[in-house]
Amino acid sequence: MPGTVTDQLVQQRSTHPRRNVLLGLVLLVDYREHGRTFLNQRANAGRSELLGLQIILGKVRSFTSPGRGPSTGSDHCSDHALLVCQDPTLSERFFKEVLDFYPTERVQPELESEQCMATWLSAGQKIHDIAILGGPVQGKLHHFAFQLEDWSKVLRAADIISMDDISLDIGPTRHGITRGETIYFFDPAGNRNEVFAGGYRAYPDRPCVVWTPDQLAKGIFYHDRVLNEAFTTVWT
């Protein structure tokens, strides 16, 4: 149980102790029988009933604020990183021939080109474990990403980012490339972070998806279809 019913709490929280303690006991039985889902069922409860609920929880809590809520293991699982280099085709070849990765999606100057401007590579069945973006600098980090379970957890991350006034870069939105659901934000050191969910299962024998520069805005930001210049020019 999140809190404990005590005489002191009843005296502090209630102007009608006997009535609200009885209501609180009814809610306690409801809690044990139905779990936390009863919170939604009681959303339209009267003031006295809600006070009884607050006594059980041990404190008054808002029913309108998103709240922080408990963390889950998936909130701390690393998903991938995107690196910046001057020759992404050479880096892709290194990851393929030396480390046994395979490309799942690429940005190419032309559909039939063997050169790439960016590449997404997998070592298993994730849509990507590492991505490489071509740029004028060598050995820079574009971002690293944490894996979330689904779109609802991405939106939950957006709530927390807003509550804590964290520097937001992009999102919530979806990528065309990888089909992932995403938010980008900056940590206090200035590094770009991402929370990422979705995507699709990759296989080595599945044809690589190819994007060309004229489709790049849609590939990166599938909904807005507008390329944010800072997204491809800010690294650490």
- Establish whether 142 is a catalytic residue: no
Instruction: Return the pLDDT at 48.
Output: 45
Q: What is the dihedral of CA 74, 154, 145, 175, to 10 degrees?
A: 130
Lowest mean pLDDT among 30-34, 153-157, 215-219: 30-34
199-203 mean pLDDT:
93
Q: Which residue has the higher pLDDT, 70 or 50?
A: 70
- Establish whether 34 is a catalytic residue: no
Instruction: Return the pLDDT at 28.
Output: 39
Bridge partner list, 113 = none
Residue-averaged pLDDT of the chain:
77
- Establish whether 16 is a catalytic residue: no
9: pLDDT strictly greater than 70: no
- Establish whether 184 is a catalytic residue: yes
Domain 78-232: CATH superfamily is 2,3-Dihydroxybiphenyl 1,2-Dioxygenase, domain 1 (3.10.180.10)
Instruction: Return the pLDDT at 193.
Output: 95
Which one of the listed residues 105, 128, 142, 181 is annotated catalytic? 128
Assess contact for 179 and 191: CB atoms under 8 A: no
Instruction: Return the pLDDT at 71.
Output: 55
Assess contact for 107 and 220: CB atoms under 8 A: no
- Establish whether 80 is a catalytic residue: yes
Instruction: Return the pLDDT at 70.
Output: 57
Specify the residue for token string 């990183």. Answer: 81
| Domain boundaries of the chain, sorted by first residue | 7-57, 78-232
SS (H, E, C) 59-88: CCCCCCCCCCCCCCHHHHEEEEEEEEECCH
78: pLDDT strictly greater than 70: yes
Residues 6+ apart with CB under 8 A from 126: 79, 80, 199, 202
Which one of the listed residues 31, 142, 181, 184 is annotated catalytic? 184
Which one of the listed residues 31, 142, 143, 181 is annotated catalytic? 143
Report the percent of the chain where pLDDT is more than 90: 54
- When pLDDT is cut at 50, 70 and 90, the band that residue 91 belongs to is very high
Say how many C-beta atoms besides its own lie within 10 A of residue 3's C-beta: 12
143: pLDDT strictly greater than 90: yes
What whole-number distance in Å separates Cα of residue 5 and Cα of residue 95? 59
